[in-house]
Structure 1
Amino acid sequence: MEKARRTSSPSWTAAVALVSLFAVAGVAAAGAPPPRRILVDTDMDTDDLFALLYILKQDRSQFDVKAITISANAWIDAGHGVDQLYDILYMMGRDDIAVGVGGDGGISEAGEIHPDVGGYLPLIDQGMSTVGGCRYRQAVPPGRRGGRLDTDTNGGLRRGFLPQGHRGYAPLRQPTAQQVMVDTVSAGPTTLLLFGTHTNAALLLMAHPHLRRNVERVYVLGGGVRVAGNLFTAYGANPFAEFNVFGDPFAAYQVLHSGVPVTLVPLDATNTIPVTEEYFAEFGRRWQTTPEARYCFQSLDLVLRRHRRPAPGLHGSTGYYMWDSFAAGVAFSSMRNGDANGANDFAELEYMNITVITSNKPYGVRDGSNPFFDGRATPKFGLKVGGVHSGHVQTGIGDSFCLVPGSNAGRCQDGYTKEVTGSEGVRVRVATSAKPNPVYNSAFDREFSKNFLEVLNLAKQAGRFNISTQFPYYREVLYKPDFINVSRGKPVIFDMDMSPGDFVSLIYLLKAPREVIDLKGVLVNGNGWANIASIDIIYDILHMMGRDDIPVGLGNTTAMGNPTLGCNNVYAIPLGSGGFIDSDTLYGLARLLPRSPRRYTPESTDDPEHRQPLAFEVWQSVRRQLLSR
């Protein structure tokens, strides 16, 4: 039988061409490596915000940020940190990124790590609850002038700039740090970037050793190998440690010794990339074309107002360095060029044999400082008797064991990332210095300094809006009642520690007839059921009730008779559920309040009239009013 001849038609030719096009595209796509999966663990300090925004601007076809978890035992308080993170992600259009914080799990006396340990405490002090002391965190000031109050509020800028997203902390529904970490790493090979203490990462690797194979590499901002430490509050006890590693030395040891490849960006490198006056001026002149760039500049401005130290000329250091952002730049450059041995655009790197000191010699002593060994027949986690973890462990910044008579530098080495020989250490790739900018006499004396501003100002993946552009008709208006012809009742000053019950009482006082109760002022102390940054909730409630006339005074963050960095009473209140994280967010309800024009504002502000008054100043002002009647 004769076969019929087939003639090609235009439609058939087009179909074949289309199939061929898809085939070529498929081959190209198959040849392109998938984007690197990224998990960031951060303590949400100001320099971490710079790093996060830099990371969120990276090419998503190369790097896919899957999750961010919060390191809750260092520079941020969990409730304030998580809501700021949600708002940053909302500004950047990244509500797809999972966020984890806290958790109420514990570690048993036998060393069994239960699910959802919150990372509120260093591993050495973690029991079966979120109640504990501040052995290491004591080095972080809790209040003003660069302490946690300024970090929690970002110097008052957070609420005046960031838009408010749809996500926020909600009790019982907020994913925990460990949930997010386990889910992310279980889903595929993941690179970890650690910008805070190592507690969360250590818990992940210790409790789920089978997941180590899915951790491609860990990039760490922390430590100081061949330079002095930076514990400015505790140098007299420990001149060797850097804050991130000191926050949980045993956790840092576990991460470095886990067998996962590690790249360390220590003080050795970050000390070589200061923020100079010339750099800051250039940032302000030309590099604020996106919301994220403006947020970084304004944040840096606030930090430098309280951080500057005298320095000669524009090239002198302000005393502030590009810590976390530089570490992020080193990490992404390494990932682009090949993690293990590839060149790095921003840093000189070399391999070193290092370890993390977790206790002090002589080893094997039992002096009550080391819960891993003291009072135990069997050391916790199966640690070796007489081993490197069995010595004296620093108990605080005033530990007498650490103090050297006649010297302003102590002898304790807890948290020291020490270069060693032999099997005691592990091979780690270490950044030793920032690469200079090859352009002579530039405002950017380091290669990364320019790249940071270029990336922040890219139009691609730029932030969508800030609070004023999110709500174009938003105006900061103070509402003050007219009580001229109203008789006044008994004058009252309300002193509160900002527990949820205190807020109920405040609303009750505001609802009482003015003829009965004349609320003259609110005083706030930061050593009770909420961290001092929750003062902003008071401002919002007063604004909601139309009482922006009532002054709010900031009290102490520690109890009377205790030093500013004391923590004698912190054992009384849980850090997790039912404690600080719920009080600081008013159980998630604080975000539903209208945003007051008044907010915590540091004393370094340009406008002294809007500076946060102290409790005693409010007391004196009310007293003068009453005496003048």
Structure 2
Amino acid sequence: MDGAEPIPVVIDCDTGVDDALALLFAVRHPGLDLRAVTCVAGNTDVDGVVRNTLTVLEQAGAPQVPVARGAERPLIEPVRVARHVHGSDGMGDLGLPAPTRRAADTDAVTLLRHAILSSPRPVTLVPTAPLTNIALLLRTHPEVVRNIGRIVFMGGAVTTGNATPVAEFNVWHDPEAAAVLLTAGVPITMYGLDVFTRVVVPGADVRRLRASTEPGARLAGDLLAHRPASPAAEDDAGGLGDAGAVCAVADPQGITTRLLPVEVSLAPGPTRGQTVVDRRPRPGESEIHGASRTPALVDVALDVDVDRYVKLYLATVEGP
């Protein structure tokens, strides 16, 4: 990134412990120009998401980035929050003070449109949440695609899901919206569970962050401590989760991707919300007999350099 202009970035989130980690990174990385943040129901209700987002930006000492409230429920499904993971307030019940900042006096879709079209260079759109706002944007203002360079979304899974055996939470929460995203007509990177779960900050680093006197670094440590990587992980180790998707924008060489056909299962039943990723080396009978559709081609993250992203995250959040 040395000498290069910062990448214009817009984040759509459901803050959320790991969305908060992603925001802390985005506002502190010198190679990223965070132009707007939009909020959607997911990890908690949308008003809680707005509050949490403003709190994180304030604790991080971020510039006055515009923040807007978006969809309070998926396109079709009822809202189904994840407080059992993120705490009753969506932020690990850390007891953070209420923000003094206020959200913009506009809705998320309007802010998304303005932030994208007013950018002097193509924007990288980074959804780390259910994709309701993005679907509404693409259907309401399709002209925005002319100034979107890439969409890097945290969602989906090639192998195992978390909301169901095959579906990841963000896509499962609003499968129709995810299906709309895949029709955007711009380059898309899928940062799914296959890499999401692997980027873990060691316990010693988490403890150092928690002991920091700088509010943003300390908040990162507290959030990571709330988000244990797995039952088998060392004490205090914490997963970066959504923040890895923003690391992939700042340093795309840290992930290994393949351009693969991807579609979202929309049928009722056990596969609803599954991202069906076609890794076959050659067409099968379905294609030969003309019974298949043509899915979108997506750069699917299949591997990640864990140490690289952990070092990048720590250097950014703890840096000047």
Report whether the alignment pairs 1:66 with 2:35: yes
Task: Give the distance between the partners of 1:294 and 1:98, measured in 2 at CA.
Answer: 24
Question: Quick check: which has more Rg, 1 or 2?
Answer: 1
| Partner residue in 1 for 2:262 | 354
CA contact (8 A) 1:185 1:214 kept: yes
CA contact (8 A) 2:153 2:190 kept: yes
Which of 246, 251, 265 is the matching residue for 1:328?
246
CA contact (8 A) 1:351 1:430 kept: yes
CA contact (8 A) 1:221 1:266 kept: yes
Secondary structure in 2 aligned to 1:149?
Answer: coil
| Partner residue in 1 for 2:206 | 283
Which of 65, 82, 86 is the matching residue for 2:54?
86
Residue 332 of structure 1: CA displacement? 1.4
Q: Deviation string for 1:114-158 (max 9, x for gaps)? A: xxxxx2222235xxxxxxxx2xx43x355xx4355141x531332
Task: Give the distance between the partners of 1:289 and 1:447, measured in 2 at CA.
Answer: 25
CA contact (8 A) 2:203 2:236 kept: no
Residue 76 of structure 1: CA displacement? 2.0
Secondary structure in 1 aligned to 2:258?
Answer: strand
Amino acid in the other structure paired with 2:182: L
Task: Give the distance between the partners of 2:273 and 2:161, measured in 1 at CA.
Answer: 9
Residue 254 of structure 1: CA displacement? 0.8
CA contact (8 A) 2:255 2:303 kept: yes
CA contact (8 A) 1:249 1:415 kept: yes
Cα distance, 1:458–1:75 mapped onto 2, change above 3 Å: same
Which of 45, 67, 89 is the matching residue for 1:99?
67
Task: Give the distance between the partners of 1:85 and 1:179, measured in 2 at CA.
Answer: 18
Task: Give the distance between the partners of 1:39 and 1:241, measured in 2 at CA.
Answer: 25
Q: Deviation string for 1:355-381 (max 9, x for gaps)? A: 11112xxxxxxxxxxxxxxxxxxxxxx
Cα distance, 1:448–1:141 mapped onto 2, change above 3 Å: closer
Task: Give the distance between the partners of 1:51 and 1:147, measured in 2 at CA.
Answer: 15
Cα distance, 1:94–1:286 mapped onto 2, change above 3 Å: closer
Cα distance, 1:322–1:286 mapped onto 2, change above 3 Å: closer
Report whether the alignment pairs 1:301 with 2:258: no
Q: Deviation string for 1:148-204 (max 9, x for gaps)? A: 5141x5313322xx7x43x225xxx73211121111122133210010011101111
Which of 154, 178, 185 is the matching residue for 1:221?
154
Cα distance, 1:317–1:84 mapped onto 2, change above 3 Å: closer
| Partner residue in 1 for 2:112 | 181
Q: Deviation string for 1:319-342 (max 9, x for gaps)? A: x632111111112113xxxxxxxx
Q: Deviation string for 1:51-98 (max 9, x for gaps)? A: 110111111xx43211000122x1122222212322332333434311
CA contact (8 A) 2:263 2:295 kept: yes
Secondary structure in 2 aligned to 1:178?
Answer: helix
Q: Deviation string for 1:558-578 (max 9, x for gaps)? A: xxxxxxxxxxxxxxxxxxxxx
Cα distance, 1:331–1:352 mapped onto 2, change above 3 Å: same
Task: Give the distance between the partners of 1:269 and 1:50, measured in 2 at CA.
Answer: 16
Cα distance, 1:424–1:207 mapped onto 2, change above 3 Å: same
Cα distance, 1:327–1:33 mapped onto 2, change above 3 Å: closer
Cα distance, 1:290–1:101 mapped onto 2, change above 3 Å: same
Secondary structure in 1 aligned to 2:160?
Answer: coil
Task: Give the distance between the partners of 2:52 and 2:296, measured in 1 at CA.
Answer: 36
Cα distance, 1:147–1:323 mapped onto 2, change above 3 Å: closer
Task: Give the distance between the partners of 1:455 and 1:230, measured in 2 at CA.
Answer: 29
5+ residue gaps, structure 2: 288-292
Secondary structure in 1 aligned to 2:198?
Answer: coil
CA contact (8 A) 2:224 2:240 kept: no
| Partner residue in 2 for 1:196 | 129
| Partner residue in 1 for 2:181 | 255
Higher relative contact order (CA 8 A, sep 6+): 2
Task: Give the distance between the partners of 2:115 and 2:167, measured in 1 at CA.
Answer: 31
Report whether the alignment pairs 1:168 with 2:102: yes
Q: Deviation string for 1:21-67 (max 9, x for gaps)? A: xxxxxxxxxxx7653221100110101111110111111xx432110
- Taking the TM superposition and a 5 Å limit, the aligned residue runs for 1:100-499 are 100-102=68-70, 119-124=71-76, 134=78, 137-138=79-80, 140-142=81-83, 145-146=84-85, 149-151=88-90, 153-159=91-97, 164-165=99-100, 167-168=101-102, 174-188=105-119, 189-225=122-158, 227-231=159-163, 235=164, 239-275=165-201, 279-285=202-208, 288=212, 290-304=214-228, 309=231, 311=232, 314=234, 321-334=239-252, 344=253, 346-359=254-267, 393=268, 402=269, 412-420=270-278, 423-436=293-306, 446-459=307-320
Amino acid in the other structure paired with 1:450: K
Counting aligned pairs with the same residue, the percent is 26
Runs of 4+ that moved beyond 4 A: none
Amino acid in the other structure paired with 1:351: L
Secondary structure in 1 aligned to 2:85?
Answer: coil
Task: Give the distance between the partners of 1:333 and 1:261, measured in 2 at CA.
Answer: 17
Report whether the alignment pairs 1:42 with 2:42: no
CA contact (8 A) 1:419 1:425 kept: no
Q: Deviation string for 1:294-323 (max 9, x for gaps)? A: 01111222344xx862x27x4x996x6321
Compute the TM-score of the two structures, normalised by the length of structure 1: 0.45
Amino acid in the other structure paired with 1:56: V
Q: Deviation string for 1:463-497 (max 9, x for gaps)? A: xxxxxxxxxxxxxxxxxxxxxxxxxxxxxxxxxxx
Residue 290 of structure 1: CA displacement? 2.9
Compute the TM-score of the two structures, normalised by the length of structure 2: 0.85
Cα distance, 1:356–1:81 mapped onto 2, change above 3 Å: same
| Partner residue in 2 for 1:540 | none
RMSD value, Cα: 2.5
